[in-house]
DNA sequence: GAAAAAAAATCCATGGAGCGAAACGAAAAT
DNA sequence: ATTTTCGTTTCGCTCCATGGATTTTTTTTC
């Protein structure tokens, strides 16, 4: 699954990801150097991506194109989770005036799913869609603490002992705390989110610089985060009706296959 | 640029776009049939895409993955335009209680960039990132009416006479109207957005079913849309400081190249 | 619960698709 | 005017992607 991959495809994505990281228009030579490929190769791949509207060519410089938006829009509506969480995240952000994050958990993977930013100038930075650390972030540890033994086995790396030792406290409080362990000067509280059948969906967190988020405030923000996570779990229950682990859901989906195929595509695209 | 493209790359994107359109987990056989490729080929491409986290394999069924979010997040911050427009769009949506759209214009291309939805059950549907029609939508015609002759030349299709004949009215009112011409029962008003140097950035529109958006309301909603477009243009001015078409910006960016390269990548990704 | 059917995953010989060094022309920089 | 840099094009070689066939797994049917 890693080296069985098609070479051009991974090359194309390494270019896309590089464009995403730089966040500015780049020339071919520059890209070629960064991704360590010959110019001609980069040129051809970029040309193909332009044809797919995944990148745009703006006067010799390249940047990401609107297809990226289309894919993300579909991704969000397909999970549903992010949309359901939005109003709760907004309430949490407005109450704390700090940056709040939504994380998704998927078979051992953990990543930033959504964020709402603090109005202050100094605030935490993050990249939606990027991988997040289950061990280092408060949101990650809050989730880990409530995983079943079966779910633990899916983790790509073994659980460090010092993380596991925090579980009892996390479970009793209902949220996890990160007191500058991940980054000096940054304090976070996080709580886990589950669906109706108890499957872990992800987590929520509030992050702020210590001078705005004192240790005395940990309990109050922690309670807010915990309540928000519970509220999101509640809305998720209606989204993913109680079911036996997902098998039933899969069967339902499969049943819809034929009718959907014959219904035809959208009129506006391609 | 169309047939000089790399075959696997366009195949990979046709699969991604298909997944985006279906908006549900799909099996290999089903995808293979839809995109008209052998199963083995689809399997290999999907496998590569999973390796890039562009799709996820959820028990034999495939759906879009978090990298899509990452690319879209970068796309949005790279244009800046969408972010700057957000608060104005929200005000417009809250005042009208109807779905508002933001469109981007880019060298003859026009597409949905953002939307905020009406709280009502019955509301317009659209796909962020998908192409939009410059000729049929009110937002498109509002933009066309204010393009310079040079910019007109970039249009992929010639301007229909009946569209051009509306320009004087659009210019005098400051917004364009679509009275069920695009779709029966749907009424829209749209206005164009420009940056500090007069370059067209896109357009804004309000869309609603005719029974909530009567012909008597066209002038009031039209005025709101016009004002919103002006406000967005104003904020865009500060984003893209008055400059001679962009050459200066390009030079500035180029200067930052070396320092950025040597600064290394983000610690959290890949 | 066994048999049948369908789908996913794997294998492999083959051809052409993708590759990249090099050359070219255009545009900046000096 | 000269040099450097960058984007684009060419072209012959090679190895990579291909897809038909096979095996394995899952689902359905009886």
A-proximal residues of B, 158-217, CB under 8 Å: none
Fold classification of A79-244 is Beta-Lactamase (3.30.450)
* Predicted pLDDT of residue B124: 78
Residues in B closer than 8 angstroms to A65, CB to CB, are 75
Question: Cβ of A111 and B261 within 8 Å?
Answer: no
* Predicted pLDDT of residue A270: 31
**pLDDT, tens digit, for every residue of B101-137?**
999 998 888 999 999 988 887 777 788 888 999 999 9
Cβ neighbours of residue B88 closer than 8 Å, sequence gap 6 or more: B204, B228, B231, B232, B235
Q: Which of residues 7-36 of B touch strand C (CB under 7 A)?
A: 7-9, 27-30
Residues in A closer than 8 angstroms to B59, CB to CB, are 246, 250
Q: Where in chain B is the domain with CATH 3.30.450.40?
A: 73-245
Q: Where in chain A is the domain with CATH 1.10.10.10?
A: 7-67
Full-model pTM: 0.82
Q: Where in chain B is the domain with CATH 1.10.10.10?
A: 7-65
* Predicted pLDDT of residue B161: 92
Residues in A closer than 8 angstroms to B111, CB to CB, are 66
Q: Point out the residue nearest to D21 (C-alpha to C1').
A: B40
Instruction: Count CB pairs under 8 A between chains A and B.
Output: 234
Q: Classify the C-alpha dihedral B172-B176-B181-B184 as positive or negative.
A: negative
CATH match for A7-67 among 3.90.600.10, 3.40.50.720, 1.10.10.10, 3.40.50.150: 1.10.10.10
B257: exposed, middle or buried (Cβ count in 10 Å: 0-12, 13-18, 19+): middle
- Cβ–Cβ < 8 Å for A61, A25: yes
**pLDDT, tens digit, for every residue of B11-40?**
999 999 999 998 889 999 999 999 999 999
- Cβ–Cβ < 8 Å for B114, B83: no
* Predicted pLDDT of residue B240: 57
Q: Where in chain A is the domain with CATH 3.30.450.40?
A: 79-244
C-alpha torsion B41→B47→B52→B57, nearest 10: 130
Task: Give the tokens for residue A263.
Answer: 């219904």
Q: Could you tell me the maximum CA-CA distance found in chain B, to the nearest angstrom?
A: 60
B7-65 is a CATH 1.10.10.10 domain: yes
A-proximal residues of B, 79-118, CB under 8 Å: 104, 106-107, 109, 111-113
- pLDDT over threshold 50, residue B249: no
**Residue B115 bridge partners (DSSP):** B101
**Residue A63 bridge partners (DSSP):** A56
Distance from CA of B201 to the nearest CA of A (A): 14
Residue B132 forms contact with A (CB below 8 Å): yes
Fold classification of B73-245 is Beta-Lactamase (3.30.450)
Residue B122 forms contact with A (CB below 8 Å): no
List the single residue in A with minimal CA-CA distance to B129: A70
Residuewise pLDDT in 10s, chain A (270 residues): 446 789 999 999 999 999 999 888 999 999 999 999 899 999 999 999 999 999 998 878 899 999 999 999 999 888 878 888 989 999 999 999 999 999 999 888 899 999 998 888 777 778 888 899 999 999 999 999 999 888 888 788 889 899 999 999 999 999 999 998 888 889 999 999 998 778 889 999 999 999 999 999 999 999 999 999 999 999 887 665 443 333 333 333 333 333 333 333 333 333
* Predicted pLDDT of residue B3: 60
């Amino acid at each position: 699954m890693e080296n069985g991959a098609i070479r051009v495809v991974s090359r194309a994505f390494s270019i896309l990801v590089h464009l995403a990281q730089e966040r500015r228009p780049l020339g071919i030579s520059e890209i070629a150097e960064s991704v360590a490929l010959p110019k001609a190769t980069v040129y051809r791949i970029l040309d193909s991506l332009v044809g797919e509207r995944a990148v745009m060519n703006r006067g010799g410089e390249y940047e990401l194109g609107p297809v990226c938006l289309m894919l993300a829009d579909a991704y969000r509506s397909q999970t549903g989770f992010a949309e359901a969480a939005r109003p709760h995240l907004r309430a949490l952000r407005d109450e704390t005036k700090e940056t709040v994050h939504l994380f998704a958990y998927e078979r051992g993977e953990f990543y930033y799913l959504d964020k709402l930013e603090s109005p202050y100038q100094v605030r935490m930075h993050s990249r939606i869609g990027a991988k997040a650390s289950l061990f280092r972030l408060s949101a990650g540890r809050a989730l880990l603490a409530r995983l079943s033994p079966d779910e633990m086995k899916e983790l790509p790396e073994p659980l460090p002992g010092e993380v596991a030792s925090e579980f009892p406290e996390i479970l009793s409080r209902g949220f996890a705390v990160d007191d500058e362990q991940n980054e000096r000067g940054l304090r976070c509280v996080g709580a886990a989110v589950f669906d109706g059948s108890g499957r872990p969906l992800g987590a929520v967190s509030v992050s702020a610089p210590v001078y705005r988020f004192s240790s005395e405030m940990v309990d109050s923000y922690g309670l807010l985060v915990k309540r928000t996570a519970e509220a999101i779990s509640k809305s998720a229950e209606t989204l993913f009706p109680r079911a036996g682990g997902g098998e039933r859901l899969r069967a339902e989906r499969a049943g819809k296959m034929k009718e959907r195929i014959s219904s035809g595509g959208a009129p506006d695209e391609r």
